[in-house]
Amino acid sequence: MKRVILVARILLGLVFVVFGANLILHFLHMPMPTGDAGQLSEIMDRSKWMTFTGLVQLVGGILLLVGRYVPLGLALLAPVIVNILLFHFLLLSGSGSVPALVVTALEVFLIWAYRGYFRTLLGSAHEVS
């Protein structure tokens, strides 16, 4: 099981390091979507929203690749993955959603594998004295 977790962690880390760095450095040509998705993409690009998102992806991916602070890396990447899924399903009508679903499956698997670190986050609140 440790090998499966390692492979999933490295694969997810590589995806976010490469695509996060691409959002900052623009070394891969990504075609601009059309319609509402294209308008939103253009606004996010002009406002540097995507640069910040790329930085979050890059940091999260590096944390997964290095193997230190993996739960922090997973926590950083979770909202990014939710936004990727929403973008593909709501604005692109599911187009290109297979890679997003694979990334989601890897994230969910790794959160489950590191569930001990998330127990207090998911537990009930206790009153602070």
For the residues 53-71, what does the mean pLDDT come to? 97
Per-residue pLDDT, 68: 92
1 CB-side CA count, 13 A: 5
pLDDT in tens, 27-38: 999 888 999 999
Ramachandran class of 67: left when φ > 0, alpha when ψ lies in -120 to 50, beta otherwise? left
Hunting for tokens 């590096």 — which residue is that? 62
Torsion of CA 93, 23, 100, 119, to 10 degrees: -130
- What's the average model confidence in pLDDT over 10-19? 98
Share of the chain above pLDDT 90, in %: 83
**Which of the four pLDDT bands, split at 50, 70 and 90, describes residue 120?**
confident
CA distance 84 to 97: 9
Upper half-sphere CA count for residue 10 (Cβ side, 13 Å):
6
Q: Nearest to residue 9, comparing CAs of 83, 109, 96?
A: 109
Mean pLDDT of 108-122: 92
CB 100 within 8 A of CB 88: yes
